[in-house]
């Protein structure tokens, strides 16, 4: 992606930053970001330093935040300035966050109080052209990247957090990236976290050549009163995620999900490789919905190992059944319990699927 950044470079040390992970460097870093008004520029956090900070705002378009060292969320929760996320920007064009360094969210301080406010690490809204490249995010207190800009690229980005179950301090809601803006390209990333590895809420997204560790997979939604089209997830490894290819919509909602492709995926120790759930969250009411899910393809997918709940769990609404689903070249083995769960699938193209049973499951799932 081509972005235009201002020529000036502002080293945060020149504005008084210390970088000893003890001193509050918020004011110095924010002053450097302020210096980028109105022409833009690069704010440099040099290698060899750990800069502790409270919430920061990118003030101007054409700005690069180059983190070569470490930027640490200040662990003084009681002094956090209201309900502000950590790095924010709004109505900005041409923004870059890169540098090969680390953003440490100090999540341990926040996860133990999961019902209180917890900041997202990066929140970019309502702009165009943003690039996040060659950067690591660790232990986000909440969602790591909440992005509603359009024309966005994530490349060579790593996000890590502990799982959300089975560990002493669980990292709930630590989605690696939530996509709310159209035209997003995610590639060559490593996301190993406590919630959705990717959660897509917008059109025209491509995710490829990536590795997803612990988490809830590559998810659409959950959606309500939304239209979403043209998502492709391909050439991705899922290792120990709870789900992998996942679509979730809420009951009593309108909208449409169509032209979706999950292809060329390798799964290891994934609990449920394929999920379509039109009753998320399931509160037991199952009210009528006018949401439609059509033209979704799952192809060339292998899954091995693990203690598996289902090969696939497809729960569509009888009042608005799923249509034109495609299942081609699926091979689930070594630990899978050959269970297919189907509900309200009106039409499907099934070919070369192992273990057998999906065709019968779909055939008995819906009656006109």
DSSP code for 74: -
Residue 113 CB coordination number (10 Å): 11
Of residues 156, 216, 286, 328, which has the active-site annotation? 216
Query: How far apart, in whole angstroms, are the C-alpha atoms of residue 235 and residue 13?
Result: 42
9-112+119-216, CATH topology level: Pectate Lyase C-like (2.160.20)
DSSP code for 345: B
- pLDDT of 285 reads 59
The whole model's pTM is what? 0.95
Query: How far apart, in whole angstroms, are the C-alpha atoms of residue 50 and residue 96?
Result: 20
Q: 254-287: per-residue pLDDT in tens? A: 999 999 999 999 999 998 999 999 999 866 555 6
Q: 14-47: per-residue pLDDT in tens? A: 999 999 999 999 999 999 999 999 999 999 999 9
Q: Which residue has the tokens 């990118």?
A: 58
DSSP code for 204: S
Q: 216 an active-site residue?
A: yes
- DSSP string covering 229-293: EEEEEEEEEEES-SEEEEEEE-TT-EEEEEEEEEEEEEEES-SEEEEEESSSS--S-----EEEE
Residue 333 has pLDDT above 90, yes or no: no
Handedness of CA 163, 169, 172, 175 (dihedral sign): negative
- Stated length of the chain: 368
- DSSP string covering 114-166: TTS----SEEEEEEEEEEEEEEEEE--SS-SEEEEEEEEEEEEEEEE---SSS
Asked if the bond preceding 222 is cis, omega within 30° of 0, the reply is: yes
Helices H, strands E: what count in the chain?
A: 3, 27
| Spans of all domains in the chain | 9-112+119-216
Average pLDDT over residues 334-359: 86
Residue 168 has pLDDT above 60, yes or no: yes
């Amino acid at each position: 992606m081509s972005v235009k950044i201002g020529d000036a470079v502002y080293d945060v040390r020149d504005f008084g930053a210390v970088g000893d992970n003890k001193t509050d460097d918020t004011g110095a870093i924010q002053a450097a970001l302020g210096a980028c008004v109105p022409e833009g520029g690069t704010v440099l956090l040099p290698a060899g330093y750990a800069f502790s900070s409270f919430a920061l705002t990118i003030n101007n378009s054409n700005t690069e935040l180059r983190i070569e060292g470490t930027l640490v969320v200040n662990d003084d929760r009681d002094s956090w300035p209201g309900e502000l996320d950590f790095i924010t920007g709004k109505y900005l064009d041409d923004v870059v966050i890169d540098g090969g360094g680390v953003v440490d969210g100090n999540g341990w301080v926040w996860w133990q109080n999961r019902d209180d406010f917890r900041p997202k690490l990066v929140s970019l809204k309502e702009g165009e052209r943003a690039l996040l490249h060659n950067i690591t995010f660790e232990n986000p207190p909440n969602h790591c990247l909440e992005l509603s800009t359009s024309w966005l690229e994530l490349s060579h980005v790593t996000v890590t957090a502990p799982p959300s179950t089975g560990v002493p301090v669980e990292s709930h809601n630590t989605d690696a990236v939530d996509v709310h803006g159209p035209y997003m390209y995610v590639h060559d990333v490593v996301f190993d976290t406590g919630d959705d590895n990717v959660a897509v809420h917008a059109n025209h997204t491509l995710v490829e050549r990536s590795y997803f560790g612990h988490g809830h997979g590559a998810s659409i939604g959950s959606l309500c009163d939304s239209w979403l089209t043209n998502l492709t997830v391909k050439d991705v490894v899922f290792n120990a995620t709870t789900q992998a290819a996942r679509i979730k919509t809420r009951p009593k909602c309108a909208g449409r999900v169509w032209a979706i492709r999950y292809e060329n995926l390798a799964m290891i120790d994934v609990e449920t490789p394929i999920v379509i759930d039109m009753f998320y969250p399931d509160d037991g009411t199952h009210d009528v919905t006018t949401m439609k899910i059509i033209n979704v393809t799952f192809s060339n997918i292998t899954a091995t190992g693990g203690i598996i709940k289902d090969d696939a769990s497809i729960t569509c609404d009888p009042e608005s059944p799923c249509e034109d689903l495609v299942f081609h070249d699926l091979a689930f083995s070594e630990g899978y319990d050959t269970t297919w769960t189907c509900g309200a699938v009106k039409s499907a193209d099934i070919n070369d699927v192992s273990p057998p049973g999906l065709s019968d499951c779909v055939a008995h799932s819906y009656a006109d």
